Amino acid sequence: MLFLLILIPLGTLATSAAAKLRGRAAFTGFATATATLGRLPRRLATPAAIAVLATETALAAALAGAVAAPGPLALPALTATTALFGAFTTVLAVARRAGTAGSCHCFGPSKEPVAARHVARAAALAGLAAAGTVAAAVAPRALDPAGQPPAVLFLNACTALAAVAVAAGLDTLAWLLRRPGTPPSPWRNP
C-alpha cells in the first residue's frame, strides 16, 4: 500500500496542472490568484504562475517516471514534491491569516476564498509526500509496484483516484456537506 505515497501526489499534481491548462480563463485566474495570495506585484503574476505550473508538471512527470521505472528517481521527486506542497501550505496559511480575499485556483477556477480546508488539504498532501520521501529513503522497494498482485495494484489505483477526486473537489464537497439552512455559496466552478 506504500505505492499510494507516489500515486496520490502524482494524481494531485497532474489534475492540478491540467485544470490550470484547461483554457486561457483558467490560467489567467490562476495567475491572478498567484499574485494575490503570494503578495506579488502584478507584473510577476504570469511568470510566477508559469513557474508553479512548470514545477507541478515536471514533478508529475518525475513521479510518473518513478512509477514506470522504479529506482533512484522516487526519492528526489518525492522530496521536491514535499517542498512544493509545503510551500503551497505556507502561502495558503499566510493568506488565510492575513484575511486575503483571494481564492487559490488550485484545481481550476473558483470564487471560494481561501479557507482552513485549503490549508489542511495542502498540509495533508505535504505530509503524504513527506511519508513517501521517508519510504523512498528507508525502503525504496516498498514503493515499487513490480511483483505486487494485480488486485493490490488495482486497489491502490482506485484509492489514489478517490483521494485525488476528494482533493480536487474539496470546495464542492464542502458545499454539499454544509449545514442545513446555510445559504448556498456564491461561488460556482464553471
Residue 185 in any domain: the answer is: no
Domain with 152, as residue range(s), is: 4-176
Distances (CA, A) of 188 to 40, 104, 112, 132, 175: 26, 14, 8, 34, 10
Residue 190 in any domain: the answer is: no
Residue 67 in any domain: the answer is: yes
Residue 79 in any domain: the answer is: yes
So what's the pLDDT on residue 189?
A: 44
Helices 45-68, 74-98: crossing angle, 10 deg rounding: 140
Model pTM score: 0.86
Q: How many CB atoms lie within 10 A of CB 41?
A: 8
Domain count, the chain: 1
Residue 186 in any domain: the answer is: no
**Average pLDDT, 10 consecutive residues per value, the chain (190 residues):** 86 94 89 86 90 96 88 91 96 88 82 87 96 89 80 90 90 76 53
So what's the pLDDT on residue 16?
A: 93
Residue 189 in any domain: the answer is: no
113: left (phi over 0), alpha (psi -120 to 50) or beta: beta
Residue 188 in any domain: the answer is: no
So what's the pLDDT on residue 190?
A: 42
So what's the pLDDT on residue 1?
A: 63
Q: Is 139 helix (H, G, I), strand (E, B) or coil?
A: coil
Residue 182 in any domain: the answer is: no
For the chain, what's the residue count? 190
